[in-house]
Amino acid sequence: MQLATDIERLDINGAAATLQGVAVPTPLMTNINWSNRLNCNVYFKREDLQVVRSYKIRGAFNKIRSLNSVQKEAGVVCASAGNHAQGVAYSCSLMNINGVIFMPTTTPNQKLEQVKMFGGKAIEILLQGDTFDDAADAALKYCRSRGRTFIHPFNDQKVIEGQGTVGKEIIAQAQEPLDYIFLPVGGGGLAAGVASYVKTYSPKTKIIGVEPEGASSLTEALKFGSPVKLNKVDKFIDGASVKEIGGLNFNYCQELLDDVITVPEGAVCTTILELYNKDAIVVEPAGALALTGACYYSIPKNAEVAIVLSGSNNDITRMEEIKERSLLHEELKHYFLVSFPQRAGALKDFVNDVLGPDDDITLFEYQKRHSREKGPVKIGIQLAHKSKLHSLIQRMNELGFIHEYINNQPEHLSYFV
């Protein structure tokens, strides 16, 4: 099946012309820190610096601009967990088109406020459901009843063309031929657009798609041979938490991506913190997805590697959860249900003799507050190094502290964190 290898099939050059003066040509920046870590030459494509702080403006504006006058007059509708909504809102404001934006009830408040700011009086926000798919179902029903145009966040040719301009800029900006490009994958619009352009103008460049483990819709589709709907998704990486990859996007990705990998959500959290602490770069979870994938991939030494930082719309109130998920993934935070020996000084012995000199209690809560003398205690402990866990458990056993380890029980861990 002949697809994206024909660049005229996707008019990415035309999309680039449409986006002039609207989407910022974001820099492709050398990063010394990550180049040293990965033993190759790393370049960040800084879509986090885009006008709406993500690449989504590219596809949204390109699609809305393509509508005829009747469609523009009727108005548009979209569903989004945040970034596409901001792109649509900004586009509606620029073109003076009325837009109704459906967002999941779980959308971070920061993204809601940004959508309002970019859209102004041109848009209305309606919160529906817990996931993007719930919001999308409600948006489509609204469209049918009102005769409006639905602006799909990824499964649309004009949207794919707009996202593909990221690839056009990468190829133009690269000083050396690129060996790899790492892309985040949610619905697949960015991957489809970038791959279609890059494989035309730089066919030797390997394109690697990166998905969250808890929302691996493309990985599952590749196994099955066509898009499949996941039973559930981990909504933490909200910008890439899609139950089913777009059918159009899947065709491009299946043909043109060289590899697709998944990474743990906790590893993405570690990447977010390291980008912030060491590079002063703020990204949202989906924005750190591609870089996390590069850390998991076997990249040859001295390779030329471009990595798309896709967005920076992160709510500061999520940082505690990000830190917690990172510590759990790095095996530095551990939770126990501990029964203390019924003797005086048991708590003092636990602090003095069980904990290591650099260990820290982060949670101490009686399970049964009316029976503190006999009830078990929820305890969270942060270690200086993950290798210290074995000796910690050994000391608990030797000193008679009966315990249950909770980290390996996902169904119970949520009650502790």
* Tens-place pLDDT, residues 36-69: 999 999 999 999 999 999 999 999 999 999 999 9
pLDDT of residue 368: 61
Ramachandran angles phi, psi of 124, nearest 5°: -130, 135
367 close to 377: Cβ distance less than 8 angstroms: yes
CA distance 88 to 91: 5
> pLDDT by residue (tens digit) across 65-98?
999 999 999 999 999 878 999 999 999 999 999 9
Give the whole-angstrom CA distance, residue 169 versus residue 172. Answer: 5
Give the sheet arrangement for strand 180-184, strand by strand.
28-30, 41-46, 304-309, 180-184, 206-212, 259-263
User: Is 196 labeled as catalytic in the residue annotation?
Assistant: no
CATH of domain 332-413: 3.30.70.260
Q: Are 135 and 79 in contact (CB under 8 A)?
A: yes
Q: Which of 217, 310, 312, 326 is catalytic?
A: 310
**Average pLDDT for the chain:** 92
Contact 25, 169 (CB under 8 A): yes
Q: Are 57 and 166 in contact (CB under 8 A)?
A: no
φ, ψ of residue 396 to 5 degrees: the values are: -60, -45
CB contact set of 164 (below 8 Å; sequence gap of 6+): 10, 12, 15, 192, 193, 194, 196, 197
310 classed as catalytic: yes
Cβ pair 165, 58 in contact under 8 A? yes
| Chain length of the chain | 417
What pLDDT score was predicted for residue 235?
86
By three-state DSSP, how is residue 119 classified? helix
Query: In the chain, what's the furthest Cα-to-Cα distance?
Result: 81
* Candidates 56, 63, 111, 158; catalytic one: 56
Question: Rounded to whole angstroms, how far apart are CA atoms 107 and 105?
Answer: 6
Could you give the C-alpha distances from 102 to 88, 136, 226, 298, in angstroms and in order?
Answer: 11, 7, 27, 40
Domain 7-52+158-323 has CATH 3.40.640.10: no
Q: Strand pairing partners for 160?
A: none
Quote the Cα angle for 257-262-265, to 5°: 140
Check residue 4 and give its pLDDT: 44
End-to-end CA distance of the chain: 49
Place of tokens 């990166």: 210
What's residue 372's pLDDT? 52
Contact 111, 127 (CB under 8 A): no
d(CA 409, CA 283): 30
Query: Which residues, in sequence order, are bridge partners of residue 405?
Result: 336
Residue type, 9: R
Per DSSP, the three-state class of 226 is coil
For residues 48 and 413, give the distance between their C-alpha atoms in angstroms, rounded to a whole number: 33
- Whole-number pLDDT of residue 108: 73
- Fold of the CATH domain 56-150: Rossmann fold (3.40.50)
Domain limits of the chain? Answer: 7-52+158-323, 56-150, 332-413
44's enclosing H/E stretch is strand 41-46
The model carries a pTM of 0.92
Of 371, 368, 364, 306, give the one whose Cα is nearest residue 172.
306
For the record, the structure tokens of 335 come out as 């939770």
Q: Do domains 7-52+158-323 and 332-413 have the same CATH topology?
A: no
pLDDT along the chain (417 residues), means of 10: 52 97 97 98 98 96 97 95 91 97 84 91 93 86 95 95 98 97 97 96 97 97 96 90 92 96 98 97 96 98 98 88 96 94 84 93 78 75 95 93 92 79
Angstrom distance (rounded) from CA 258 to CA 252: 11
Task: Give the closest residue to 142 by CA, choosing from 82, 109, 111, 98.
Answer: 98
pLDDT at residue number 413: 85
Assign 368 to helix, strand or coil. coil
Token pair for residue 264?
């743990």
